[in-house]
Structure 1
């Protein structure tokens, strides 16, 4: 299947740069995956499409302020580090810029002004011992240990204190590259139910919910359950292969807790629908369902609590086993996320809906409007 089949034209001015003041005021396009019928609503009208007994599954990952701007310890040149994955013992997988200048052994300091670094690096006066490296004076120091491809590095941090607190003070939210505006309130790139830190990007479909609206849904009999998938920046990586089937999917860590697995089993047994909030929730549930079906058979399988790394790639032709519906945002042309929703609703239905979304001036991508596929 050719990747170009998932392309569409999007005017740049439709890419949302800032979130709405009220999360539930976003527009909501509905897409019936059987008939292809499209409807236009507001997000607070989602309750019209959910029934008592349905199960809404949300990803409670929390984005870390993973983008760090610092200075090379030896020259004072500007350097940037983007944290991707924690490896333990203060070591992280990261992307760095400029990659050509940050070789193994390079040290990057954070929280120092260039003047402070210059003073720390000043040559010692004759007869005095050499000045130490600026590490003790910097709140945070990164040492490049290993080099990888395309700016990838393994780095080790040196610091005194509590790392999450230091990161919260020095780091910035790793907003997608298509967002050019500065985000004043970091919490607007978090869901209101974000709990487990570890994501390099937000599960943006969940940004439309408020605590009050989730309570409202529960009062109407909709079940709410949570799982965790730590979103990696691979979610924004373009598909470089010409054929969909040849794309090398990135892996992300997930946890499906026992209470969510049981809620899934109970809902399916009672004839209710499982609606994933976001492609990350969908990928987690479909990973668990794929493995359960392989072990128990396609009919009547039950989910169990599980965790691990998933590189599941969903596109038309790959079976959807777990979810009956999906709350999602509008996705980039030729992206794996657009392919995922096409696996659920059909490529032609999705592209027709996107054409209408452009015509109706919906807001696209992370801070944009929502779609319900049901």
Structure 2
């Protein structure tokens, strides 16, 4: 009997994670992390440099090339107090992250504000070498504020402003101050599309050496972009998943990626990280949507949380991907900007992905639900093994290769 994901109780996805098992700092070398392989129910221990020899022949590995921006800004009040503003997602004049990053002069973002009660009224300022940025509250909404930023020199892009005066947003559970090392180590080596506020951490283990080994083994690679939002750390507070609202994230898809996926469908497609997996499965559901609604506007390209579970006549993966390619052809474009709230939980039928490279996730998280959707109740065996064998957990922790 298929699981109804809406009725899943999050208390069934709990395990005991001692604080000392959370990796607070990265290892000296990225690719020397442990790699736990789960293959058809069997578990074995490896080092990340073994990855190329563990992947099935003719695998396509798909990476998320998003880049973490320095989204934390510490503003000074006239009285000397500090107001921390954490940029979540753009609102105006562009909602599309990549356009918002190139905005000059001013923009409005959805933000979290620390010490908000001490910020009585008016703008707050932050000075950086050669310039200054001001922030002003425009509105308070549920759980966040709309903040208007203006800066000088006005010809700087918002990306340049963040680069000059922002701070990297480390995951809250690291519970420590930023170090100079984090600026390189909390980015993948292939990150090049600015816009994430959290790293796609499964990719942090990859080095030039590992990528070369993959090439030598004939393992092909492809890239997509999903800008990871702060919602990735959002705990599930609802008793059952039906009451949990998934965060939306922005996704960019290119024609060459879709063409490569069509060619690959007879062979394994393995995403690096949960964000890549959510992106690939969202591509399928976007394709299903444009097959049903060929004239859908691009701004309506959105996968809702429960769409995969409510579909009555899903197309084949080849038809769905081809549907997106035809949609792009009709619009004369080589890339699409979409958004997704997809929740992958037990009961989900995978359409594109045949495995996963991923780190070890927090208890009671949607990421743990995703792992369970892929390997079933064996997630418990996997996590017990990792805890018993000194694996390091969460963002800077060790890795796993899951081949159901």
TM bucket, shorter chain = 0.7 to 0.9
2:301 matches 1:297:
no
Q: Deviations over 1:22-68 (max 9, x none)?
A: 11100001112xx4221111111011122442100000000001111
Equivalent residue in structure 1 for 2:364, among 331, 334, 345:
334
Correspondence for 1:15: 22
Q: Deviations over 1:250-305 (max 9, x none)?
A: 0000012111111111011xx21000001100011101112334537136434135
How far does residue 106 in structure 1 lie from its aligned partner after superposition? 3.2
> What CA distance in whole angstroms lies between the structure 2 residues aligned with 1:223 and 1:352?
31
Q: Deviations over 1:166-205 (max 9, x none)?
A: 3212111100011134332201111000011000000000
SS at structure 2 position matched to 1:301: helix
> What CA distance in whole angstroms lies between the structure 2 residues aligned with 1:62 and 1:285?
18
Query: CA 1:322/1:360 → structure 2, altered by over 3 Å: closer, same or farther?
Result: same
Q: Deviations over 1:180-234 (max 9, x none)?
A: 3433220111100001100000000000001232132122111100000000000
Larger radius of gyration: 1
Equivalent residue in structure 1 for 2:234, among 237, 242, 256:
237
2:200 matches 1:183:
no
| Within-5 A mapping of 1:346-365 | 346=376, 348-365=377-394
* Structure 1 stretch displaced more, 286-295 or 23-32: 286-295
Equivalent residue in structure 1 for 2:118, among 71, 76, 101:
101
> What CA distance in whole angstroms lies between the structure 1 residues aligned with 2:231 and 2:174?
17
Correspondence for 2:44: 39
Correspondence for 2:89: 85
Correspondence for 1:54: 59
How far does residue 85 in structure 1 lie from its aligned partner after superposition? 1.1
- If the length of structure 2 is used for normalisation, what is the TM-score? 0.81
Structure 1 regions of 5+ residues with no counterpart?
113-136
2:152 matches 1:150:
no
> What CA distance in whole angstroms lies between the structure 1 residues aligned with 2:147 and 2:228?
19
* Structure 1 stretch displaced more, 22-31 or 147-156: 147-156
SS at structure 2 position matched to 1:174: coil
What is the alpha-carbon root mean square deviation over aligned residues?
Answer: 2.0
- The count of aligned residue pairs is 344
2:395 matches 1:366:
yes
2:79 matches 1:75:
yes
SS at structure 2 position matched to 1:221: coil
Equivalent residue in structure 1 for 2:31, among 21, 24, 44:
24
SS at structure 2 position matched to 1:342: helix
8 Å CA contact retained: 2:189, 2:207? yes
SS at structure 2 position matched to 1:225: strand
How far does residue 327 in structure 1 lie from its aligned partner after superposition? 0.5
How far does residue 93 in structure 1 lie from its aligned partner after superposition? 1.3
Q: Deviations over 1:122-176 (max 9, x none)?
A: xxxxxxxxxxxxxxx9621111112122343333233315232332121111000
> What CA distance in whole angstroms lies between the structure 2 residues aligned with 1:189 and 1:101?
31
